[in-house]
Amino acid sequence: MKYRNHKNKYPRRAWIACALSVLLVAGSCDFLDVVPDNIPTIENAFRNKNEAENYLFGIFNHMPDVGNLAEDPALWGSDEVWIPERTNPNVNTRMRQILINEQGTVTPIGNYWTARSNSSSSFLNGGKPLWTGISDCNIFLANLDKPFDLDRYMRDRWTGETLFVKAYLHFWLFRQYGPIPLIKENLPIDDTSAAMRYREPVDEVVDYIVELLDEAIPLLPLMIEFESQEMGRPTRCWATALKAQVLTLAASPLFNNNPDFANYVDNRGVQLFPQDPSRSADKWRRAAEAAKQAIDTAHEAEHRLFNVYIDMFLQAMFLSDSTLLAMQVRGAVTERWGMFGNRETIWGNSRTNNHGNLQRYCLPYFGEAHTQRGAGAKLHAPTLRAVEQFYTKNGIPIEHDQEWVGRNVWELRTAGEDHRQYIRTGAQTLNLHFDREARFYSSIMFDQGTLYGNGQLLMDNAADPSYMYVTGLKYGDMSGFTVPENSTHTGYLCKKLLQFRTNAPPTSNSHTVYNYAFPIVRLADLYLLYAEARNEWLDTPDEEVYRYIDLVRARSGLKGVVESWRDHAVADKSNLPLTKEGMREIIRRERLIELAFEGHRFWDLRRWKLAEEVIHNKPIRGLNVLSRDEFYTVRELFTPRFEKKDYFTPLRIEILMANTNLLQSPYW
Higher pLDDT among residues 319 and 242, named by residue: 242
pLDDT grade for 6, boundaries at 50, 70 and 90 = very low
- Least Cα distance to 504 among 479, 475, 477, 473 occurs for 479
Burial class (CB in 10 A: 0-12, 13-18, 19+), 314: exposed
**pTM: predicted TM-score of the whole model, two decimal places:** 0.92
Between CA 24 and CA 30, with CA 26 as vertex, the angle to 5 degrees is 85
Higher pLDDT among residues 569 and 39, named by residue: 569
pLDDT tens, residue by residue, 481-494: 888 888 999 999 99
Q: Is the pLDDT of residue 368 over 90?
A: no
Distance CA 297, CA 156 (A): 19
Coarse DSSP helix, strand, coil percentages of the chain, rounded to the nearest 5 percent: 45, 10, 45
> 462 Cβ partners below 8 Å, 6+ apart?
319, 320, 322, 323, 420, 421
pLDDT (mean) for 345-372: 80
Q: Answer whether 475's CB lies under 8 Å from 368's CB.
A: no
Q: Is the pLDDT of residue 360 over 80?
A: yes
Query: What share of the chain has pLDDT > 70, as a percent?
Result: 89
Residue 634 in 3-state DSSP?
Answer: strand
Q: Is the pLDDT of residue 425 over 60?
A: yes
Pairing of strands 620-623, 428-430: unpaired
- 507 C-beta neighbours (distance < 10 Å), count: 10
pLDDT tens, residue by residue, 185-206: 988 776 777 678 999 999 999 9
Q: What is the pLDDT of residue 355?
A: 58
Q: What is the pLDDT of residue 125?
A: 47
Q: What is the pLDDT of residue 317?
A: 87
pLDDT tens, residue by residue, 549-571: 999 999 999 999 999 999 999 99
Which DSSP string do the residues of 341-357 spell out, in sequence order? SBSSEEEEE---THHHH
Of 173-177, 219-223, 230-234, 244-248, which gets the smallest average pLDDT? 230-234
Q: Is the pLDDT of residue 498 over 90?
A: yes
Which DSSP string do the residues of 522-589 spell out, in sequence order? EHHHHHHHHHHHHHHHSSS--HHHHHHHHHHHHHTTPPPHHHHHHHHB-GGGTTGGGSHHHHHHHHHH
Q: Which domains does the chain have, with CATH numbers?
A: 353-516 (no CATH), 520-629 (1.25.40.900)
445 DSSP β-pair partners: 493
pLDDT grade for 208, boundaries at 50, 70 and 90 = very high
Q: Is the pLDDT of residue 221 over 80?
A: yes
Q: Is the pLDDT of residue 159 over 60?
A: yes
Of 33-47, 440-454, 558-572, which gets the smallest average pLDDT? 33-47
- Helix axis angle for 49-60 and 152-177, nearest 10°, is 20
Distance CA 150, CA 49 (A): 5
Q: What is the pLDDT of residue 12?
A: 34
Q: What is the pLDDT of residue 173?
A: 98
Q: What are the b/e assignments for 100-129, b being 16+ CB within 10 Å?
A: eeebebeebbbbbbbbbbeeeeebbbbbbb
Mean pLDDT for all residues in the chain: 89
Q: What is the pLDDT of residue 278?
A: 95
Q: What is the pLDDT of residue 318?
A: 87
pLDDT grade for 455, boundaries at 50, 70 and 90 = confident
Between CA 480 and CA 491, with CA 485 as vertex, the angle to 5 degrees is 30
Q: What is the pLDDT of residue 462?
A: 67
Q: Is the pLDDT of residue 10 over 60?
A: no
pLDDT grade for 353, boundaries at 50, 70 and 90 = low
pLDDT (mean) for 274-297: 97
Q: What is the pLDDT of residue 511?
A: 82
Higher pLDDT among residues 586 and 363, named by residue: 586
Q: What is the pLDDT of residue 463?
A: 66
pLDDT (mean) for 218-237: 93
Q: Answer whether 52's CB lies under 8 Å from 588's CB.
A: no
Of 223-232, 346-355, 445-454, 591-600, which gets the smallest average pLDDT? 346-355
Q: Is the pLDDT of residue 120 over 80?
A: no
Q: What is the pLDDT of residue 144?
A: 95
